[in-house]
Structure 1
Amino acid sequence: MNMQVDYLGLKLAHPIVPGASPFCDNLDQVRRLEDAGAPAIVMHSLFEEQILQEATAHELYREPAEESFSEAASFFPKPQEFVLGPEQYLEQIGRIKAAVNLPVIASLNGSHPGGWVNYAKLIEQAGAAALELNVYFLPSDPAVTGAEVDWRLIEVVRSVKAAVKIPVAVKLSPFYSSLPQLAAQLHDLGADGLIMFNRFYQPDFDVENLEVRARLELSTPAELQMRLHWTAILAGRVPIPLIVSGGVHGPVDVVKAIMAGANAVQVVSCLLKHGPGYLATLLREFRQFMEEQDYRSVEQMRGSLSLKHCPNPDAFERTNYLRTLQMWRA
């Protein structure tokens, strides 16, 4: 049985990849992931703000609009609040490469085109085998158009692809107005894969103290449906590898993602909850499913439930929407 997959041009032993998490900060945890069968190590993000802070002698980065009120400076985390600064991040790539015999995939997170993307070259020189680009931008200005939001992403990807030779994956938000068209543009720019999706972290309100409180909750399997839906739409219709990230907690979730058309999945929350060793459980039970269902390869399974087999995807989507609404009975 062949479980090997193509992941951003890298040949991996199987499709279950530990995603970006704090595990990469601790070499003992990294070794535990390797022992559990991890085919690669994905580092958490280095942020645009960190790079610009360092470039300006640790002065806080502010957009012109944010400089109009003095409280803006307090919004950004202080440099010491990040576990790894820009220089330490590069050093950690080398330490991980020395600790385990696995490809290291680094990550850059930003929201604006600009000089910070040049750090991608330093990441490549540090030994990263590939790079994730996480362009997280939530427009709050009514004057910002959807086309401008797309343009930001496209320009960042264009700049990074011009700077490095290693594979580059783009981690997308699900909120773009036309994901298929955007995916096609990113493919034309040379993106080596799409990761679906970036999780949208939402703050909560403290109504007694009139404060906004940040909350970070682990994902649940309920988040997988949106990933499956869009993966099934894009797979086979846009020629770019797809990676599902968010909501994958069990072996059946892995199967569903691959049947939707994913080349691989990333798992984070389930590992944070159960520990790095849980990866071995996922892998063993996924392999058992393939054996029981007589699959000879992951490729044989991939895309079997995608919309590429549907003659009229738009009509199917509309019909499925109507049918779903009629299913509820009190």
Structure 2
Amino acid sequence: MSLATHYLGLSLKNPLIASAAPANAQLDHLRRLEDAGAAAVVLPSLFQEQIEADTELEELILGRMAHNSPEASSYLPVAIGPYGVGSEAYLDLIRRAHQALSIPVIASLNGATEAGWTEYARLMEQAGADAIELNIYFVPTDLALTGQQVEDRYAGIVASARRGVAVPLSVKLSPFVSALGNLAQRLHDNGANGLVLFNRLIQPDYDLASMRLTQGVHLSTPAEMPLPLLWTSLLAGRTKLSLAGSTGVHSGDDIVKYLLAGADAVMTASAILRYGPSYMTRMLDELRIWLEVRAFHSVADMRGLLSWARSRHRERYGRPSYIKMLETGPVA
């Protein structure tokens, strides 16, 4: 039986990827993920704000040293590289991970404007990243912004990053755009090789005792899978983009669902945070058992079997199904 797949043109031993998480900045943790069966790892994001802050710090230091003698260069912090402390440390993480692991290392850039993407994507490629995930986290709080302007921003970011690199680019999208299918095509035309469905927006709550806004990162659950499953199914076989299912992946069955929808790969972070890197081995074992019981010889044999493109009942993905569900009532 073969679990092998391809994602972004990369050959993977299986479809399960460890998605971005803080612990992925630690080399020992990355090695444990590889030992547990991870087919690739996504490093924590380098944030646009970090890059900008580091650049401002460097400019401040260099400005103050401008009139000093050459010997004064010894006062400059050693960690400051050509683009700042944080970014240089991130590039070093890419280098060390690339050398230590035998699986693909995917770097991650997180931002909301086009500034800096070209240069930093290029530096990530030079450091050894096998691919780059563009994690576009943007909440359009400006009420004057149109849906077209928001999608233009996404397309512009991809075009900017593509100008700097030849390695594959994936885009981690929010589902909250007006025409996701059309946007997917635009991103491909601008140089994207794949999509990660979806980016989870941090959503606020309110503390009623203090009357204040509260925020926190909540781990995903399988209950969040239906939306990315829907769009994975709708896009699979209809776009040249490679698809990665993300959000809610906690078992082998969850991997199977994304693969049946047409995903090339499946990402998980919350399950690893809950149960540790070794839990990936369990999920892959469950995937193998599912395939064996149903006499599938490979992941390729079952990928996309339930996608929109291969369905004989496409109406179930649209309005007729919605009406029928309302008539039938909630699922117990």
What TM-score do the two structures reach when normalised by structure 1?
A: 0.89
- 1:293-321 CA-partner distances (Å, limit 9, x unpaired): 11111111111001102468467511111
| Partner Cα separation in structure 1 for residue 199 and residue 185 of structure 2 | 19
What is the 5 A alignment of 1:1-330?
A: 1-57=1-57, 85-310=86-311, 313=314, 316-328=317-329
Q: Give the partner amino acid of 1:122.
A: L
CA contact under 8 A between 1:106 and 1:130: conserved in structure 2? yes
| Partner Cα separation in structure 2 for residue 212 and residue 117 of structure 1 | 36
Aligned partner of residue 85 in structure 1, secondary structure: helix
| Partner Cα separation in structure 2 for residue 15 and residue 143 of structure 1 | 41
Q: Give the partner amino acid of 1:131.
A: I
| Partner Cα separation in structure 2 for residue 23 and residue 8 of structure 1 | 24
| Partner Cα separation in structure 2 for residue 99 and residue 46 of structure 1 | 20
CA contact under 8 A between 1:36 and 1:276: conserved in structure 2? yes
| Partner Cα separation in structure 1 for residue 103 and residue 313 of structure 2 | 42
Distance 1:166 1:277, change over 3 A: same
| Partner Cα separation in structure 1 for residue 312 and residue 181 of structure 2 | 17
| Partner residue, 1:72 | none
| Partner Cα separation in structure 2 for residue 149 and residue 319 of structure 1 | 30
Q: Give the partner amino acid of 2:296.
A: Y
Q: Give the partner amino acid of 1:326.
A: E
Instruction: Tell me how far 1:97 sits from its aligned partner.
Output: 2.0
Instruction: Tell me how far 1:259 sits from its aligned partner.
Output: 0.4
Instruction: Tell me how far 1:209 sits from its aligned partner.
Output: 2.3
Aligned partner of residue 271 in structure 2, secondary structure: helix
| Partner Cα separation in structure 2 for residue 217 and residue 300 of structure 1 | 35
| Partner Cα separation in structure 1 for residue 249 and residue 166 of structure 2 | 30
| Partner Cα separation in structure 2 for residue 200 and residue 106 of structure 1 | 20
| Partner Cα separation in structure 1 for residue 302 and residue 312 of structure 2 | 20
Q: Give the partner amino acid of 2:272.
A: L
- Shifted more, 261-270 versus 319-328: the winner is 319-328
Aligned partner of residue 57 in structure 2, secondary structure: coil
Q: Give the partner amino acid of 1:6.
A: H
Instruction: Tell me how far 1:89 sits from its aligned partner.
Output: 0.6
Give aligned-pair identity as a percent. 46
| Partner Cα separation in structure 1 for residue 316 and residue 254 of structure 2 | 26
| Partner residue, 1:75 | none
Q: Which runs of 5+ in 2 are unaligned?
A: 61-84
| Partner Cα separation in structure 1 for residue 316 and residue 227 of structure 2 | 19
Instruction: Tell me how far 1:59 sits from its aligned partner.
Output: 9.1
Distance 1:213 1:58, change over 3 A: farther
Distance 1:58 1:205, change over 3 A: farther
| Partner residue, 1:65 | none
| Partner Cα separation in structure 2 for residue 28 and residue 115 of structure 1 | 30
- 1:96-141 CA-partner distances (Å, limit 9, x unpaired): 1232222210000000112344211111111100000011111111
Instruction: Tell me how far 1:201 sits from its aligned partner.
Output: 0.8
CA contact under 8 A between 2:252 and 2:286: conserved in structure 1? yes
Q: How many residues align?
A: 307
Instruction: Tell me how far 1:52 sits from its aligned partner.
Output: 0.9
Aligned partner of residue 43 in structure 1, secondary structure: strand
Q: Give the partner amino acid of 1:90.
A: L
| Partner residue, 1:69 | none
Aligned partner of residue 195 in structure 1, secondary structure: strand
Distance 1:201 1:58, change over 3 A: farther
- 1:200-247 CA-partner distances (Å, limit 9, x unpaired): 111221233232221111000000111111111111122211100101
RMSD (Å), alpha carbons = 1.9
What TM-score do the two structures reach when normalised by structure 2?
A: 0.88
Aligned partner of residue 326 in structure 1, secondary structure: helix
Q: Which runs of 5+ in 1 are unaligned?
A: 61-83
Aligned partner of residue 44 in structure 2, secondary structure: coil
CA contact under 8 A between 1:21 and 1:43: conserved in structure 2? yes
